[in-house]
């Protein structure tokens, strides 16, 4: 057996299979193959920040064919839990999903300003997906220096408010935020689907750092860079991987961040209420000024997303198989990395697994396609490679939803994506159709 992908010396985790049959062209495997954690279930679900990747074995991470199904952990339907969860984990998935779908009220701490009253309002069809709902960010660029205009409510705009509170002289009316006149940068960002992100969470930082080095060495013109950001829970510097700018390092942190910034619900890692339009004085009327969530809800959202399965892959036929080869040939796979591997995880279904997100989760200079917003180390032109898994279930594409077909999304690639875009434009009708058919299998 070609043990291209296996555990470190002497290790064997029950239920974890080796990665069989791969082809020539090998690249260093990007996974943590050391460490323990197989099967041992403990809280929390997310992987610890300390990891130790050993880029020691070789595997073809650019192969576009699905590897052995048994290590993909994909459910049969979109929106289902990871395959192979035990009853206790399935119960955590369901409890998390209920909370994710639940609409919060003013008494729960919703607002004063917010975007929607539940996570699922934006992340649905099915739960965990996306409605394509866009939200607005703004800031001010002065001679190349970006100011998120925090004192005016930036960079994320909240387009809903709880309205009138109190009575008589103590009454106050909260209104939705608007883009202030001081802003000279505004950007729309659409909601991203969350399927399979527990696997992405479980990829060790070292794997992304190694991938960035490999890209710099082998494909310098399209090479990506990690967005190094702070993990609030530990204070550690981590590789950001979530959000359009890879601005958040973990699902748990994104849960707290979204709870505050999308819904106005304060929580342990995000304890400070969002002042409406940046106006601290307006918070004097906040109906629930105490900490809104003690962390229970944040943990549940993170549970749901951690255990949410990746999108199932469609079967390849002759045409789409050829399309996969075209995808590699014209350089799409340089950034849209087909295969990554998780490190050890307390959840067996997440431990030492292959995932096929078709993204390196690194930042690329996309030239004019960039959204102008600076977040963490991401400058205005840099965007995270958008994962392509689940593409067939989507109807709007690119960060601002400007594209309504995958082809339009490809044609909008600029900056480091321009050469692949041009090679796509030069493809013959048959090869182009094959590439587009391949994308529909993701």
Please choose, from the candidates 297, 304, 277, the residue with its C-alpha nearest in 3D space to the C-alpha of residue 109: 297
Joined tokens for residue 98: 């209920």
How many residues sit close enough to ligand HEC to count as binding (CB under 6 A)? 50
The answer to whether the Cα torsion of 109, 110, 113, 114 is positive or negative is positive
The answer to whether 417 contacts ligand HEC (rule: CB under 6 A) is: yes
Selected range binding ligand HEC among 50-58, 141-149, 282-290, 396-404, rule: CB under 6 A: 396-404
For the CB of residue 349, give the shortest distance to ligand HEC in the complex, in Å. 18
* Closest CB to ligand HEC among residues 33, 386: 386
Footprint on residues 85-124 left by ligand HEC (CB under 6 A): 115-116, 119, 121-123
Contact 267, 170 (CB under 8 A): no
The answer to whether 136 contacts ligand HEC (rule: CB under 6 A) is: no
Euclidean distance between CA atoms 138 and 133, whole angstroms? 17
Q: DSSP per residue over 108-146, as a string?
A: GT--SEES-SSHHHHSTTTTTS----EEEEEEEEETTEE
Joined tokens for residue 19: 């990665």
The answer to whether 266 contacts ligand HEC (rule: CB under 6 A) is: no
SS3 of the chain: helix, strand, coil, percent, to 5: 30, 15, 55
The answer to whether 183 contacts ligand HEC (rule: CB under 6 A) is: no
The answer to whether 135 contacts ligand HEC (rule: CB under 6 A) is: yes
* Closest CB to ligand HEC among residues 174, 242: 242
The answer to whether 138 contacts ligand HEC (rule: CB under 6 A) is: no
From the number of C-beta atoms within 10 Å of its C-beta (0-12, 13-18, 19+), residue 238 rates as buried
Selected range binding ligand HEC among 52-60, 267-275, 280-288, 406-414, rule: CB under 6 A: 406-414
**Ramachandran sector of residue 246 (left: φ over 0; alpha: ψ -120 to 50; beta: rest):** left
* Closest CB to ligand HEC among residues 39, 401: 401
For the CB of residue 255, give the shortest distance to ligand HEC in the complex, in Å. 4
Candidate residues 366, 374, 378, 442; the one interacting with ligand HEC per rule CB under 6 A: 366
* Closest CB to ligand HEC among residues 93, 424: 424
The answer to whether 155 contacts ligand HEC (rule: CB under 6 A) is: no
Helix ranges (DSSP H) in 4-136: 87-101, 119-122
For the CB of residue 385, give the shortest distance to ligand HEC in the complex, in Å. 4
The answer to whether 211 contacts ligand HEC (rule: CB under 6 A) is: no
The answer to whether 378 contacts ligand HEC (rule: CB under 6 A) is: no
* Closest CB to ligand HEC among residues 17, 125: 125
Euclidean distance between CA atoms 431 and 320, whole angstroms? 10
DSSP state of 346: S
**Ramachandran sector of residue 372 (left: φ over 0; alpha: ψ -120 to 50; beta: rest):** left
The count of other CB atoms within 10 Å of the CB of residue 334 is: 23
Q: What is the CA radius of gyration of the chain?
A: 22
* Closest CB to ligand HEC among residues 60, 135: 135
Calculated CA dihedral for residues 182, 185, 190, 196, nearest 10 degrees:
-110
Euclidean distance between CA atoms 366 and 385, whole angstroms? 10
The answer to whether 301 contacts ligand HEC (rule: CB under 6 A) is: yes
Contact 193, 123 (CB under 8 A): yes
Q: Binding string to ligand HEC for residues 235 to 264, with x set by CB under 6 A, is what?
A: -------xxx------x--xx--xx--xx-
* Closest CB to ligand HEC among residues 238, 399: 399
Footprint on residues 29-68 left by ligand HEC (CB under 6 A): none
For the CB of residue 81, give the shortest distance to ligand HEC in the complex, in Å. 16
Contact 225, 367 (CB under 8 A): no
Candidate residues 58, 84, 133, 379; the one interacting with ligand HEC per rule CB under 6 A: 133
* Closest CB to ligand HEC among residues 336, 352: 336
Footprint on residues 320-359 left by ligand HEC (CB under 6 A): 330-332, 334-336
* Closest CB to ligand HEC among residues 289, 367: 367
The answer to whether 231 contacts ligand HEC (rule: CB under 6 A) is: no
Residue 433 backbone dihedrals phi, psi, to 5 degrees: -60, -35
Helix ranges (DSSP H) in 194-344: 197-201, 205-218, 251-263, 296-307, 318-329, 332-335
- How far from chain centre, in Å, is Cα 290? 30
Binding-site ranges for ligand HEC (CB under 6 A): 115-116, 119, 121-123, 133, 135, 189-192, 194, 222, 242-244, 251, 254-255, 258-259, 262-263, 301, 305, 330-332, 334-336, 364, 366, 369, 383, 385-386, 388, 397-399, 406, 409-410, 413, 416-417, 420, 424
């Amino acid at each position: 057996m070609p043990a291209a992908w296996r555990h470190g010396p002497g290790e064997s985790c029950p239920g974890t299979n080796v990665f069989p049959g791969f082809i020539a062209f090998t690249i260093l495997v990007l996974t943590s193959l050391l460490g323990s954690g197989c099967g041992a279930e403990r809280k929390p679900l997310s992987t610890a920040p300390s990891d130790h990747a050993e880029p020691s074995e070789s595997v073809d991470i650019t192969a576009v064919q699905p590897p052995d199904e048994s290590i993909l952990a994909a459910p049969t339907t979109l929106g289902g839990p990871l395959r192979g969860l035990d009853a206790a984990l399935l119960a955590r998935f369901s409890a998390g999903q209920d909370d994710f779908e639940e609409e919060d009220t003013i008494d729960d701490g919703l607002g004063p300003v917010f975007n929607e009253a539940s996570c699922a309002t934006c992340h649905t069809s099915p739960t965990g997906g996306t409605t394509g709902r866009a939200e607005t960010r703004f800031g001010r660029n002065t001679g190349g220096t970006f100011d998120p205009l925090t004192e005016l409510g930036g960079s994320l705009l909240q387009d809903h408010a709880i309205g009138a509170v109190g009575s008589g002289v103590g009454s106050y009316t909260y209104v939705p935020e608007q883009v202030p006149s001081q802003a000279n940068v505004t950007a729309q960002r659409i909601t991203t689907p969350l399927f399979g992100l527990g696997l992405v969470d479980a990829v060790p930082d070292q794997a992304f750092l190694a991938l960035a080095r490999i890209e710099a060495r082998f494909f310098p013109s399209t090479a990506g860079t990690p967005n190094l950001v702070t993990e609030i829970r530990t204070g550690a510097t981590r590789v950001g991987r979530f959000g359009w700018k890879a601005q958040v390092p973990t699902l748990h942190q994104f849960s707290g961040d979204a709870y505050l910034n999308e819904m106005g619900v304060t929580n342990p890692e995000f304890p400070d209420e969002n002042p409406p339009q940046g106006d601290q004085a307006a918070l004097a009327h906040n109906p629930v000024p105490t900490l809104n969530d003690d962390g229970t809800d944040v943990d549940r959202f993170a549970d749901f997303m951690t255990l949410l399965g990746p999108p199932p892959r469609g079967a390849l036929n002759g045409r789409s198989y050829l399309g996969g080869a075209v995808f590699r040939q014209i350089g799409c796979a340089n950034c849209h990395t087909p295969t990554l591997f998780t490190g050890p995880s307390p959840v067996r279904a997440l431990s030492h697994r292959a995932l096929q997100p078709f993204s390196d989760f690194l930042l690329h200079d996309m030239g004019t396609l960039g959204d102008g917003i600076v977040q963490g180390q991401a400058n205005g032109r840099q965007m995270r490679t958008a994962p392509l898994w689940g593409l067939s279930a989507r109807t709007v594409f690119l960060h601002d939803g400007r594209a309504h077909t995958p082809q339009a999304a490809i044609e909008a690639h600029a900056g480091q994506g321009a050469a692949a875009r041009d090679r796509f434009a030069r493809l013959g009708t048959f090869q182009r159709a094959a590439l587009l058919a391949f994308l529909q299998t993701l």
